[in-house]
């Protein structure tokens, strides 16, 4: 709770002071108040989450659709010839706010930005170790539905969705 109260972006969302370009019940997209480049857009859930792991699957899916639409709009409105979509997750990954957000960065030729990196080389053994470790953790990834049931049941608002073939409704239908 205290985290929510100290969150700059929760304040902006509640006070509606942000330069909002899209808003619905669960999420909001706005121009970044301190942009990294021309037309820097941030897409956030309205509820306070700090890192991606806390965001429920269904909300992540919802956000991603908004991100996709806005990135299409950016191509036309800012005459961008490319976009970067970036989620910084954790202070050590460059996250500067404690509200989870997806960054959309419009790009042009020779805009002076650079997201290149120097790759490292690892030997076969190291790579195999990493592979095994990761694979173990990834074995349960396919189970999106199971995890989704609880938040959907708990959150009555979601049941108001119009009948439409989408991911959320499919899950709703499965609930006995």
Partner 1 sequence: MVTEEELANMSPEQIQELQKQNCIFCHIVSGRVASKKIYEDDKVLAILDINPLNPGHMLLLTKEHYQIMPQIPDDIIAHIFMVAKKLSHACLRALNAEGTNVFIANGAPAGQKASHFMVHIIPRMKADKLTTFDLSEKKVSEDALEQMRIPLKNKVNDLFGIKEKEPFFVDKRDKESQKKVYVEKEKLENKPAEKRQEKNNKELNLDNISSFLIKNEPRK
> Is there binding between residue 175 and partner 1 (CB under 8 A)?
no
> Is there binding between residue 47 and partner 1 (CB under 8 A)?
no
> Is there binding between residue 79 and partner 1 (CB under 8 A)?
no
**Element holding 150 (H helix, E strand):** helix 144-154
Instruction: Provide the b/e sequence for 131-144 (b: ≥16 CB within 10 Å).
Output: eeeeeeeeeeeeee
Cα-flanking dihedrals φ and ψ of residue 120, to 5°? -105, 160
Question: If you search the block for the tokens 């970067």, which residue do you land on?
Answer: 84
Total binding residues toward partner 1, as defined by CB under 8 A: 96
* Inter-CA distances, 105 with 18, 20, 31, 46, Å: 18, 16, 10, 21
Q: How far apart are CA 57 and CA 52, in angstroms?
A: 10
Instruction: Single out the residue of 2, 5, 15, 92 in contact with partner 1 (rule: CB under 8 A).
Output: 92
Instruction: Single out the residue of 10, 28, 83, 99 in contact with partner 1 (rule: CB under 8 A).
Output: 83
Quick one: 94 or 176, whose CB is closer to partner 1?
94
> Is there binding between residue 164 and partner 1 (CB under 8 A)?
yes
Shortest Å distance, C-beta 136 to partner 1: 7
> Is there binding between residue 158 and partner 1 (CB under 8 A)?
yes
Instruction: Single out the residue of 3, 24, 79, 150 in contact with partner 1 (rule: CB under 8 A).
Output: 24
Instruction: Single out the residue of 15, 76, 112, 154 in contact with partner 1 (rule: CB under 8 A).
Output: 76
Name residues contacting partner 1, limited to 107-146 (CB under 8 A): 107-111, 114-122, 126-128, 130-131, 133-138, 141-142, 144
Smallest Cα–Cα separation from 25: which of 43, 52, 45? 45
> Is there binding between residue 16 and partner 1 (CB under 8 A)?
no
Q: How far apart are CA 73 and CA 171, in angstroms?
A: 30
């Amino acid at each position: 709770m205290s985290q929510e109260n100290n969150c700059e972006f929760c304040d902006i969302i509640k006070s509606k002071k942000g330069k909002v370009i899209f808003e619905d019940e669960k999420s909001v997209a706005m121009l970044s108040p301190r942009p990294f480049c021309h037309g820097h857009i941030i897409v956030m859930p309205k509820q306070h989450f700090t890192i991606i792991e806390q965001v429920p699957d269904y909300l992540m899916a919802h956000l991603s659709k908004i991100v996709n639409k806005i990135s299409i709009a950016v191509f036309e409105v800012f005459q961008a010839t490319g976009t970067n979509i970036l989620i910084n997750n954790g202070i050590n990954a460059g996250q500067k706010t404690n509200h989870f957000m997806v960054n959309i960065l419009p790009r042009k030729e020779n805009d002076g930005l650079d997201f290149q990196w120097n790759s490292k080389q690892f030997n076969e053994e190291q790579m195999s170790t990493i592979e095994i470790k990761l694979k173990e953790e990834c074995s349960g990834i396919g189970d999106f539905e199971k995890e989704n049931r609880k938040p959907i049941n708990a959150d009555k608002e979601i049941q108001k969705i119009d009948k439409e073939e989408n991911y959320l409704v499919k899950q709703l239908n499965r609930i006995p």
